[in-house]
Structure 1
C-alpha cells in the first residue's frame, strides 16, 4: 500500500482530498492539526509521531523534521542502497507529500504584527518536506496547492499513477512556492534597506497574453509578491477583447500619472506617453479637455478616469475609438452605450489602496537590473524659486499641473498647458529645442492659442533657444529644474519677453 503524508496550514479541501486518496489505497499519515481534522471527519489517519517516536516540540517548531519522514520521502526506489537503508531503520517509503505553508506574507502585511509573531510564521518544516518531495519527484508526488488536488486524483484514478511530466510540473511549482516564500522572508528581514546586497523578488503569473509588443513575441503579465497593490489588483474587465501587452504598458503609464492629479482628471496615453491630460470640476469636462488636447493621437488610446463614468460621458466615449477604458465605476446607461464597441476593453477599478510610495523602480538591462527609487514623490513647493518675474495664482496652478504631467513624458520632455489642460506635448527627443518645437507645433496643429500658456521642461535648458521659441509662440511662464551653465542666458531671454520662470531644483528624466 502506498503512503501519503499530509501537513497543511490551509486545510480547505484537504479532507476530501485525503478521503479520495484513501479510496485509492493510500495509507494516510498527517501532522498535528491536519491529523486532528481528518480523524474528526472519520478518516483513518496515522499521526506523524507514531512514525518518528517524537511528539511535536518547541511550541510546534519541530513536528516533521525527522529522518523517519525525510528518509521516507527522499529514498530513491530504484537504488538498492537507499531501500536497504530504509529497511535497516524500519522506515516505509512515502509516495505523496501534500504540504502548504504558514501564511507569512499575510501575517506581515498586518500593520499590528509584532516581530515575534512574524518570526513564528516563518515555516521551516513545511518547506523542507516540500523541497524533499520535489527533489525526489521521480518517486514522490509533491502537492502544494489546492488547485492540484483534483488533477492529481484524476491521474491516479485513470492510470493508477501520476505521469512523469505532471510530476516534473508539480516539482517546479513546489520549488517556486518555497523560493517565493524565502523571497518574502528575505524582503521582510531586510526591512528598510533600499538596496540590499541581493534582491530576490518573486512574481506570480496574473495574466497570459496573446503576444508581446509585437506579434512574434510571446508574453505574460506577472504581479509582484508582497506589493501593496498591482496594475490589475481588484480590476474587473466588464467588456471587450483580452488585454494586450501594449494595453497594460499604456495602462500603467496612465494610472501612474492619474494618481498624482487632483481629480476629477482624465489621462489619455498612447505608446506609454500622455497625449492629452485634463483636470476640471467634473469628469465630463476633464475628458473633453484631454481629448481636445490632441484628438488625433487620442484615437485608439488608453483612457483613465478618476471618477465614475456618467450616462452622458459614456455616450460621448462611445463616439470615439478607445482601446482601453479604465474608471472606478460606470452608470448603467453608460455601459449600454459602451458595450456596443466590441474593440473597447472596459475595466472597472475597485481598488482603493494607494500605490506604495517606497516602491522601487526596476529596469532590465543586458544581464542585469537597474534599481532606483520610483520618481513618485511630489516636489516640495518651498524648494521652488521664482527666478524671473512674478507668477499669478492661475499661472501657479497651470505650472504645477504641467510640471506633474512632464514627469510622465519620455525625455527630453516638454509640456505646454493652460487652464488644467495640456495643449502640446513634445516627447522623447534627443534635443530639448526639438521637444519644444514639437510641443508648439502640436498645439497649433489642433487649434490651440498659446497666448498665456505655461511650459514645463523635465530637464534644464542648455541654451536659450528652446524657451525663446516658446515665448515667441505666446508662453508667459516656464517651469524647469535649472542648473545649466547658461541659466543666466535663459533667464535673460525670459525676462526680455516679460515672462516668468520658476526653478524647481529637481530634474525628472524618464526613459
Structure 2
C-alpha cells in the first residue's frame, strides 16, 4: 500500500503513521509534513521521487503533477487507464490524507494582511482530496484527524469496506464545498458594493449538538451555528438539555432583551414575551 500525506493540522498524525508502518504502507509526503514524519522516526519518501521536481513558487506547486493525480485517479479495472499506467510507469496510491490551509482562521483575523489571506487559499489540497473522493471505490481519503482512530482500526483489521470509503468521500465533498464557500464569501465582501445582489444565498453552519427532540417529541432535531452569534453559542447554567422549542423561545427572549438600550429581562412563552422589564438597574 502507498499513502500520500500532506497536512496543515498535524494532530494525531504520529499515531496514524504508526498504523501505516505496522501494515507496511509506504508513506510519501511534502514539505513540513515530510519533516514532521521524519522527526517522529518514521520512514517517509518525498514526492520528488515520483514527480522528479522539487516544490516551486514558495510551495504553491507541490502535488499538482500528472504522476500524483494519475496515481490517485486511476481505475485499474478500466483498460484505457491500465494501459496508461503501464506505459507511463505510474505508481498507484491507496490512501490520501490531507487537510487544508486555515483560510477561515486567517481571513477572520484582524492581524492578517490581504496577501496572507490570499496565500491561505489552498489549491493542491482540495485537488487531491476531490480526486481521491471521486475514486472512492479504490481510494481511502481522510481530512479529519477525528477519523484517524476509526480508519486505523479498520486498516489493522483489513476491514475498510466500500461503505466506509463512500462515507469518507462524502465528507470530503461537503468539506471542500464549505471551504470554497468561505473563500467566495470573503472575496464577495471585498467586491464593489454596487454589484447586483446574488441570485443564490448559501449558509455554512456547524452542528453544535443534537437536541432532545425536534418540534414534536417524535421528531429528531439539532442546533446549528456559525460559532459567532445567537443563543446557540451561550452556555447552559442550569437545567436539562435544551429542546427545539427551548431554543426557539430562548432566541425570541434574546432578541427581545437586546432590543432595549437599558438592561432588560424577557420572559417568553411560545415565542411571545409575556413579561418584560427594562431598567438601568434590574435590582431596583
TM-score by length of 2: 0.92
Name the counterpart of 2:213.
211
Unaligned residue ranges in structure 2 (runs of 5+): none
Distance 2:197 2:17 in 1: 45
Distance 1:31 1:77 in 2: 26
SS at match of 2:111: coil
SS at match of 1:237: coil
Which of residues 185, 197, 202 is equivalent to 1:195? Answer: 197
SS at match of 2:236: strand
Alpha-carbon contact 1:5-1:98 (below 8 Å) kept: yes
Distance 1:152 1:265 in 2: 51
Name the counterpart of 2:166.
168
TM-superposed deviation, 1:238? 4.1
TM-superposed deviation, 1:248? 1.1
Name the counterpart of 1:307.
none
TM-superposed deviation, 1:281? 4.4
Name the counterpart of 2:178.
180
Name the counterpart of 1:469.
none
TM-superposed deviation, 1:202? 1.4
TM-superposed deviation, 1:84? 2.7
Alpha-carbon contact 1:72-1:94 (below 8 Å) kept: yes
Alpha-carbon contact 2:96-2:141 (below 8 Å) kept: yes
> Are 1:153 and 2:152 matched, yes or no?
yes
Q: Which has the higher strand share?
A: 1
Distance 2:235 2:35 in 1: 39
| Higher RCO, 1 vs 2 (CA within 8 Å, ≥6 residues apart) | 2
Larger radius of gyration: 1
SS at match of 1:11: coil
Name the counterpart of 1:131.
130
TM-score by length of 1: 0.52
Name the counterpart of 1:6.
5
Structure 2 matches for 1:251-400, cutoff 5 A?
Answer: 251-284=250-283
Give the RMSD, CA atoms, in angstroms.
1.8
Alpha-carbon contact 2:258-2:264 (below 8 Å) kept: no
Alpha-carbon contact 1:77-1:139 (below 8 Å) kept: no
TM-superposed deviation, 1:162? 1.1
TM-superposed deviation, 1:23? 0.9
Distance 1:230 1:173 in 2: 27
Alpha-carbon contact 1:190-1:196 (below 8 Å) kept: no
Q: 1:71 to 1:230 in 2, by over 3 A?
A: farther
SS at match of 1:94: coil
Deviations, residues 127-167 of structure 1 (Å, cap 9, x unaligned): 01001111111111110101000010111122x14122221
Distance 2:189 2:134 in 1: 31
TM-superposed deviation, 1:93? 0.9
Q: 1:231 to 1:91 in 2, by over 3 A?
A: farther
Distance 2:175 2:46 in 1: 25
Q: Which runs of 4+ in 1 moved over 4 A?
A: none
TM-superposed deviation, 1:52? 0.8
Unaligned residue ranges in structure 1 (runs of 5+): 286-511
TM-superposed deviation, 1:61? 0.8
SS at match of 1:260: coil
Structure 2 matches for 1:470-485, cutoff 5 A?
Answer: none
SS at match of 1:187: helix
Distance 1:113 1:232 in 2: 28
Deviations, residues 444-499 of structure 1 (Å, cap 9, x unaligned): xxxxxxxxxxxxxxxxxxxxxxxxxxxxxxxxxxxxxxxxxxxxxxxxxxxxxxxx
Distance 2:76 2:221 in 1: 40
